[in-house]
């Protein structure tokens, strides 16, 4: 590992301790990187209603790190994939987790904090970044208490209004909102009209899990609300417009406003500044892809940045983060806007929605869109060749020299793996043995990918730490040296 300049407080400083920032910190810590989080909240408590679940591919990523069971024990496995409120069943998909997970963001963050705490990641709370200066060798970070930090890299995981993105001068183009919504947790005097309600204005909902909890509310506003923090009076006005009463709301725990704005950072990297999660892309929460996309950003970026910081790969490796994740984010925005268009309440749009729903009853159409919504169809453009190239590696049950195991268990330490199903001794990792694991294995069974079905069985594969296949050998090891150098630096 390369020694760092002693003037650095940390190799990497992450601004924002939400799900994306926490996941990214864990990824870096697994690789031995000195990373710290700066978080403005005094505690991890999430105020109000935020994301409420994990999609299949995100559960797989947690499984790759050996922590999925923690989340599964805390949530409820459900079929959560959908498109414009049309349910998409993935129970027949070739994955160990053919479902989503209903789990509130409070719990997601709590479990991620436990994980990064085990990895020794410090979190500086009640601290806000007010500015920074980027130089050739590092970033000087200014804090609200008058202090500061110096790091090699600064990561903006600080949400849709990201200060890091703004100070870096990264454009945030996209589409302005046409609809806004209020979400709240409040007490009520009168019994509400429970459940989902749809009208010409939009979709609204009122529910409470038990009598000890506040009522959860979401109501569509008549006009797009201002960027200021909403008040109890704003919520009352919106409820009266829809229900004719505000149910005697009082004692709010939280009130927030969100919109259907769709924006994406023009670049995810500016020198030593990188963006992930909502700092890089915002959109309406329909489809539940926001938090999941952020966690997947983190797993794509973490191992790459770790190699650059540790001196085993060149700085140019970080350019592949934008190249791979920006198209994914763009597709999420496009998919989200399409869903919102299908949820308009006029008769013509309802007719279109009914037709789309009918078409998604066709197995192939359902599988294609369900793979997209669950994150299982993501393929990074690593060139032409085998269908596995650039896609997630299936979690096969394999037999190795040390006994039976699963592919995902080989990825728990976030280290790349060459998996050899051919005769032992056919691959020489000299020069990369300190960075890449070589595992000889046997596997009997079909190789299946979601939506694509069965694919030809390769003889060897190179699996990146994020679980995506970087090289496929079908009858030889041609191209392996090039792939190893591209992703994990030159041999030493």
pTM comes to 0.94
Q: pLDDT-based confidence at 210, cuts 50/70/90?
A: confident
Same domain, yes or no: 167 and 185: no
Q: Which of 208-217, 316-325, 442-451, 464-473 has the lowest mean pLDDT?
A: 208-217
Beta bridge partners of 124: 38
d(CA 452, CA 371): 10
Is the per-residue pLDDT at 134 higher than 80? yes
Determine the structural domain holding residue 475 and report its residue range.
Answer: 397-488
pLDDT in tens, 225-284: 988 889 999 999 999 999 999 999 999 988 989 899 999 999 999 999 999 999 999 999
Same domain, yes or no: 245 and 275: no
pLDDT in tens, 60-71: 999 999 999 999
Same domain, yes or no: 253 and 276: no
- The tally of domains found in the chain comes to 3
Structure tokens of 5? Answer: 């300049």
Same domain, yes or no: 318 and 443: no
Same domain, yes or no: 51 and 142: yes
Same domain, yes or no: 246 and 350: no
Q: What is the mean pLDDT of the chain?
A: 93
Give me the pLDDT at residue 469, please.
98
Same domain, yes or no: 104 and 242: no
Which of 234, 259, 284 is the endpoint of a domain?
A: 259
Q: Which long-range contacts (CB under 8 A, 24 or more apart) does 439-443 make?
A: 439/400, 439/410, 440/400, 440/401, 441/398, 441/399, 441/400, 442/398, 442/399, 442/400, 443/396, 443/397, 443/398, 443/399
Q: Which of 35-39, 253-257, 303-307 has the lowest mean pLDDT?
A: 253-257
CATH number of the domain at 296, please: 3.50.50.60
Count the neighbouring beta carbons within 10 Å of the beta carbon of residue 95: 21
d(CA 403, CA 457): 21
Q: Are the C-beta atoms of 436 and 485 separated by less than 8 Å?
A: no
Out of 33-47, 116-130, 469-483, the most confident range is 116-130
CATH number of the domain at 238, please: 3.30.70.2450
Is the per-residue pLDDT at 6 higher than 70? no
d(CA 144, CA 39): 11
Same domain, yes or no: 312 and 324: yes
Q: What is the mean pLDDT of residues 453-478?
A: 93
Percent of the chain with pLDDT over 70: 97
Residue at 233 is within a domain: yes
Is the per-residue pLDDT at 48 higher than 70? no
d(CA 147, CA 156): 19
pLDDT in tens, 403-438: 999 999 999 999 999 999 987 767 889 899 999 999
d(CA 274, CA 454): 37
C-alpha 202, offset from chain centre: 28
Which of 203, 236, 259 is the endpoint of a domain?
A: 259
Give me the pLDDT at residue 51, please.
65
Burial 62-73, CB ≥16 within 10 A → b, else e: bbbbebbebbbe
Structure tokens of 353? Answer: 């929605």
Which of 259, 287, 310 is the endpoint of a domain?
A: 259
d(CA 237, CA 439): 63
DSSP 26-84: HHHHHTT--EEEEESSSSSPPPS----EE-HHHHHHHHHTT-HHHHHHHSEEE---EET
Using only the alpha carbons of the chain, give its radius of gyration: 23
Percent of the chain with pLDDT over 90: 84
């Amino acid at each position: 590992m390369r020694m760092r300049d002693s003037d650095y407080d940390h190799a990497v400083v992450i601004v924002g301790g939400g799900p994306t920032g926490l996941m990214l910190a864990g990824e870096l810590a697994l690789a031995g990187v000195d990373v710290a989080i700066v978080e403005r909240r005094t505690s991890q408590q999430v105020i109000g209603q935020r994301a409420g679940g994990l999609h299949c591919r995100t559960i797989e990523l947690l499984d790759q790190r050996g922590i999925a069971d923690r989340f599964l024990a805390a949530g409820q496995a459900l079929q959560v994939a959908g498109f414009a409120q049309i349910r998409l069943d993935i129970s027949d998909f070739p994955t160990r987790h053919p479902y989503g997970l209903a789990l509130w963001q409070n719990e997601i963050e709590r479990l991620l904090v436990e994980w990064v705490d085990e990895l020794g990641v410090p979190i500086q709370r009640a601290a806000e970044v007010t500015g920074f200066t980027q130089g050739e060798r590092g970033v000087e970070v200014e804090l609200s208490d008058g202090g500061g930090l110096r790091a090699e890299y600064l990561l903006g995981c600080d949400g849709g209004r990201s200060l890091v993105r703004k100070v870096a001068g990264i454009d945030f183009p996209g589409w302005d909102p046409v609809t806004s919504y209020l979400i709240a947790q409040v007490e009520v005097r009168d019994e509400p009209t429970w459940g989902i309600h749809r009208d010409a204005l939009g979709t609204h909902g009122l529910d409470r899990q038990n009598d000890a909890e506040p009522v959860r509310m979401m109501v569509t506003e008549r006009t797009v609300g201002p960027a200021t923090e909403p008040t109890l009076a704003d919520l009352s006005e919106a409820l009266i417009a829809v229900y004719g009463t505000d149910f005697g709301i009082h004692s709010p725990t939280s009130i927030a406003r969100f919109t259907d704005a769709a924006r994406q950072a023009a670049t995810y990297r500016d020198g030593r500044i990188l963006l992930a999660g909502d700092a890089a892309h915002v959109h309406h929460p329909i489809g539940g892809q926001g938090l999941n996309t952020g966690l997947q950003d983190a797993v794509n970026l973490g191992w790459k940045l770790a190699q650059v910081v540790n001196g085993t790969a060149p700085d140019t490796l970080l350019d592949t983060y934008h190249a791979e994740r920006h198209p994914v984010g763009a597709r999420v925005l496009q998919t989200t806007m399409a869903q919102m268009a299908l949820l308009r309440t006029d008769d013509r749009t309802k007719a279109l929605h009914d037709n789309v729903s009918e078409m998604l009853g066709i197995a192939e159409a359902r599988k294609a869109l369900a793979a997209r919504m669950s994150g299982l169809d993501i393929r990074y453009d690593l060139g032409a060749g085998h269908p596995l190239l650039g896609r997630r590696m299936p979690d096969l049950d394999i037999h190795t020299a040390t006994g039976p195991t699963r592919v995902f268990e080989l990825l728990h330490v976030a280290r790349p793996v060459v998996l050899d199903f051919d005769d032992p001794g056919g691959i020489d990792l000299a020069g990369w043995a300190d960075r890449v694991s070589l595992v000889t294995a046997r596997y009997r069974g079909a190789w299946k990918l979601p939506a694509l079905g069965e694919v030809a069985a390769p003889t060897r594969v190179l699996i990146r730490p994020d679980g995506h296949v970087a090289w496929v050998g079908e009858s030889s090891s041609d191209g392996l040296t090039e792939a190893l150098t591209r992703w994990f630096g030159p041999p030493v």
